[in-house]
Chain A
Amino acid sequence: MLMAIGYNGKILHVDLTTKEIRVEEQPEEFYRKYLGGPGIGLYYLLKEDLPKVDPLGPENPLVFAPGLLTGTMSPCVPRYTVMCKSPLTGALGKSEAGGFWAPQLKQAGFDAIVIKGKATEPVYLWIENSKVEIRSAEHIWGTECGEAEALIRRDLEDQRVQVALIGPAGENQVLYAGISNGLSHFNGRNGLGAVMGSKNLKAIAVRGTQAIPVADAAKMKEIFKWVGQETKTHPLSSALNKYGTPAGITTVNAGGSLPTNNWQEGVFDKAVDIGVEKLNEYLVEKGGCYGCAIRCKRVIEVKKINLKVERRYGGPEYETIAAFGSNCGISNIELVCKANELCNRYGMDTISAGMAISFAMECYEKGILTNEETNGLELRFGNEEVLLPLLEKIANRDGIGNLLANGTKHAAQKIGQGSEKYILEVKGQEIPMHDPRVKTGLGLQYALAFNGADHWFAQHDPFFTAKDSFGNQSMALLGLSDPVGATELGFGKVRLILYTSYLVFLYDMLGACALGFVARSVVPLKKAVELVEAATGWETSLWELMKAGERSHAMGRMFNSNCGITKKDDKLPARFFKPIKNGPLDGKMAIDEKAFQEAVDLYYEMAGWDTENGKLSRGKLFELDLQWLI
């Protein structure tokens, strides 16, 4: 086989049941079609053809796939995708993470790891350049993420080892347990940590020191330097550097759509107390990922007599602050930081955990849950005393925590008594902290995303509302120069979401971070194409790459169709068809249910999906070179 350029040409397969380790070589055509990330991940998931697999059973494959460009000198490209069948949704499980783990895996010589089976005892994988071992993790099982990482690095006598691992939440198979790397980067959603836990796999440790050969290193360096300079002055990247995502709290609140008290209201009167200026009182450093100059992550530390928050687990992002703050009626930023630390120590999704707590609070306030059922905890909005104990209970599946650990959909089914009215989920995954009533394209994202409610399935509406908006300018070359109103639901909005959902899949296939690339940030699409050319030596185009994005998008839909996901599952919670309460948008913004359904129908037609079961048409599958799925 010709020497691979820009990638390794090697996929690592590990069977934890048989302990078989083998390396599969894939030709250039494979990478040209599937690139990396979800393209490779879905290829292996679909090849298995296991629609009825138990997500927590040994047959559920778990794939770790860095992007095509991850590990090369590409700016803002640190990421990898983890995929499997999700135990939370029963549909595609897919979550990306940044940090430094994936570049190490690529530099160790592998483009992806496909894990099957289940170990008889707790184990971890150790990958050091081309050497792969399955090692005992019995002495590490049960430890929190920080301790686990320290023990593994001590075992391997190398502090530079990067470790992707699960905490107690994953071991206890909390259905929204995540996978942590570097202690502050997460494949947070969909319960992928529970799948790892079900396999008795505690961690994957990697150390890679082999530079990935590229076709034009000088070109890559030139682009890397250009982005580094632009990052300092571009309004979006410099804002992320200066304030991170927490700046969104007061902005979204001022705009009247901050989730408050389990989405009952749109403004939180104490938003300033959990805003970025307050968080900055505890900021010690700005953190970042491999090859990214933006440094959007907040590193915080709290050192009070009665409350300490360690810096190594990272500070809370916007989603976490809203989920544990306004949406639980809590205005104590130190407590929110502690809740974030707890989730990161246990390895648990902060969005789903926060939503499980706010759901329980609404049930308690409405008399559906009793004191006995809540183990004596008074689950009222704003009651700061319950937040940390509840998180401990969820992570350890203790008492009411055991109920909430299965997600709000399962919890509501168990509780009954009309509690279903208080859940906000799609396909079983809880809604993130953005209100689709002020951006209807986001509503389409939530409904249509393959992995449940996902706020990065496509790009966000506010970036496309005027001729010279960031999005309209940067995406004009995709044919998206016409502005579309934030609350429109016509064909222009549907096409915007369709095209940008292909683009976001492409970003994931490359390993690009949405907070580094257009429309959300600085790296333009033409530079993305140049990076692929410089890395691989291919003469390619945005057209070919967008087709690759469409290809893995199609594979995602086919996976879900095989799992029995139909258009009936692509729906929004009922609360969004009612107006926002309180604040500047009081009584307004209810989404028109009929118009929304028509938009979903049109998305299906535009994408070439069967109008009921979502399967791609025969013609579309051939066009995308996916005829092997027919």
Chain B
Amino acid sequence: MQVYVKLNSSLKRYSSNEEGIEKIQNPEAMSVKQLLYKLNIKHGEAAVILVNEVLVDESAKIEDGSIVELYPIFGGG
């Protein structure tokens, strides 16, 4: 399966490019948690997760061809 990931603001540091867009391949279906692990994102750092524009948590399953948007944890300011 293949998913498209958009890493936003400080999560771009996990990306190979400035735009923060990654194409992730995986031999089988995966959850958001597994995707974050694959991207090497420190647990707790990605706090707002959208899959195909729907807000989900880490347990959500990702279908082939999905677009995943990740935003960093934020509080205060």
Q: List chain A positions with a Cβ less than 8 A from chain B.
A: 235-236, 238-239, 242-248, 250-252, 254-256, 276, 317-319, 434, 455-456, 459-463, 465-466, 468-470, 514-515, 520, 584-585
Q: How many angstroms from the CA of A248 to the CA of B48 in the assembled complex?
A: 11
Residues of A within 8 A of B45 (CB): 235, 470
Asked if A319 contacts B55 (CB within 8 A), the reply is no
A251 partner, pick from B9, B43, B44, beta carbons under 8 A = B9
Q: Is B27 an interface residue (CB 8 A)?
A: no
Q: Are A247 and B10 in contact (CB under 8 A)?
A: yes
For residue B47, CB closer than 8 A to chain A, the reply is yes
Q: How far is the CB of A441 from chain B (nearest CB, A)?
A: 10
Residues of B within 8 A of A463 (CB): 44, 73, 75
Interfacial chain B residues near A455, Cβ < 8 Å:
76
Q: Give the chain B neighbours of A584 by CB distance below 8 A.
A: 50, 53-55
Q: Which residue of B lies closest to A472 (CB)?
A: B44
Q: Are B72 and A514 in contact (CB under 8 A)?
A: no
Candidates A251, A317, A319; contact of B74 at CB < 8 Å: A251
Closest to B13 in A: A238
A461 to B8 Cα, complex, angstroms: 21
Looking at chain A's contact residues, is the secondary structure mostly helix, strand, loop, or mixed?
helix
Which residues of chain A are within 8 angstroms of B4 by Cβ–Cβ distance?
Answer: none
Instruction: Contact check, B72 vs A247: say whether CB atoms are below 8 A apart.
Output: yes
Scan residues 21-44 of chain B and give those whose CB is less than 8 A from a CB of chain A. 42-44
Q: Please, how many residues of chain B have a CB less than 8 angstroms from a CB on the other chain?
A: 22
17 pairs from A and B in contact (CB 8 Å cutoff): A236-B73, A238-B10, A242-B10, A243-B10, A244-B77, A245-B77, A247-B74, A250-B71, A251-B72, A254-B71, A255-B47, A434-B75, A461-B75, A463-B73, A463-B75, A470-B44, A470-B73
Instruction: Considering the complex, give the chain B residue whose CB is closest to the CB of A470.
Output: B44
Q: Is the CB of A251 within 8 A of B48?
A: yes
Quote the shortest CB–CB distance from A149 to chain B (angstroms). 25
Residues of the A chain whose Cβ atoms lie less than 8 Å from the Cβ of B71 = 250-251, 254-255
B10 and A460 within 8 A (CB): no
Residues of A within 8 A of B54 (CB): 584
Determine the chain A residues whose CB is within 8 A of the CB of B48 once the complex forms: 251-252, 254-255
Contact between A245 and B76, CB atoms less than 8 A apart: yes
- Quick one: closest B residue to A245, CB to CB? B77
Count CB-based A-B contacts (< 8 Å): 86
Residues of chain B within 8 A of A247, CB atoms compared: 9-10, 72, 74
Contacts of B53 in A (CB 8 A): 584
CA distance A459 to B44 in the complex (A): 15
B20: min CB distance to chain A, Å: 11
Let me know if A254 and B77 touch, CB within 8 A. no
Interface of chain B residues 47 through 61 with chain A (CB within 8 A): 47-48, 50, 53-55
Q: Which residue of A lies closest to B41 (CB)?
A: A235
Which of B42, B55, B71, B73 has the most chain A CB atoms closer than 10 A to its own CB? B73
> What residues on B are CB-neighbors of A465 within 8 Å?
44
Q: Quick one: which of A236, A459, A465 has the most chain B CB within 10 A?
A: A236
Q: Report the Cα distance A470→B48, complex, angstroms.
A: 15
Taking a contact as CB atoms under 8 Å apart, the answer to whether B55 and A256 are in contact is yes
Residues of the A chain whose Cβ atoms lie less than 8 Å from the Cβ of B76: 245, 434, 455-456, 460, 514-515, 520
**Assuming A248-B77, A455-B76, A584-B53, what are 5 further A-B pairs, CB within 8 angstroms?**
A235-B42, A242-B10, A251-B48, A470-B73, A515-B76
Which residue from B13, B42, B47, B55 sits with its C-beta under 8 Å from A462?
Answer: B47
Nearest CB in chain A: distance from B74 CB, A: 4
In angstroms, how far is the closest chain A Cβ from the Cβ of B52?
A: 11
Chain A residues whose CB sits within 8 angstroms of the CB of B55 once the complex forms: 255-256, 584-585
Contact of B44 among A254, A461, A468 (CB under 8 A): A468
Asked if residues B44 and A239 are in contact (CB atoms below 8 Å), the reply is: no
- A-chain residues with CB within 8 Å of residue B69 when the two chains form the complex: 254
Asked if A466 contacts B44 (CB within 8 A), the reply is: yes
Taking CB as reference atom, which chain B residue is nearest A468? B43
Report the Cα distance A236→B75, complex, angstroms. Answer: 11
Contacting residue for A235 out of B8, B10, B75, CB 8 A: B10
Is the Cβ of A460 less than 8 Å from the Cβ of B75?
Answer: yes
Contact across chains for A462 and B50 when beta carbons are under 8 A apart: no
B9-A239 in contact (CB<8A) = yes
Instruction: Give the Cβ gap from B26 to chain A, nearest Cβ, in Å.
Output: 23
**Which has the most chain B C-beta neighbours within 10 Å: A244, A461, A520?**
A520
Which residues of chain B have C-beta atoms less than 8 A from A245's C-beta? Answer: 76-77
**Is the CB–CB distance between B72 and A462 below 8 Å?**
no
Q: With the chains together, A529 CA to B46 CA distance in Å? A: 30
> Would you give the shortest CB distance from B29 to chain A, in whole angstroms?
22
Q: Inside 8 A of B77's CB, which chain A residues have their CB?
A: 244-246, 248, 317-319, 515
A580 → chain B closest CB, angstroms: 11
Most buried by A among B10, B13, B44, B48: B44
- Given contact pairs A584-B50, A584-B55, A248 touches B74 in the complex (Cβ within 8 A): yes
Closest Cβ–Cβ distance, residue B45 to chain A (whole Å): 5
Q: How far is the CA of A465 from the CA of B73 in the complex (A)?
A: 11
Taking a contact as CB atoms under 8 Å apart, the answer to whether A462 and B10 are in contact is no
Q: How far is the CA of A276 from the CA of B43 in the complex (A)?
A: 24
**Closest Cβ neighbor of A460 among chain B residues:** B75
Q: Across the interface, do A250 and B8 meet the contact criterion of CB distance under 8 Å?
A: yes
Question: Does A276 contact B75, Cβ atoms closer than 8 Å?
Answer: no
A271 CB, min distance to chain B CBs, angstroms:
11
Which B residues touch A460, using CB under 8 A? 75-76
CA distance A539 to B16 in the complex (A): 48
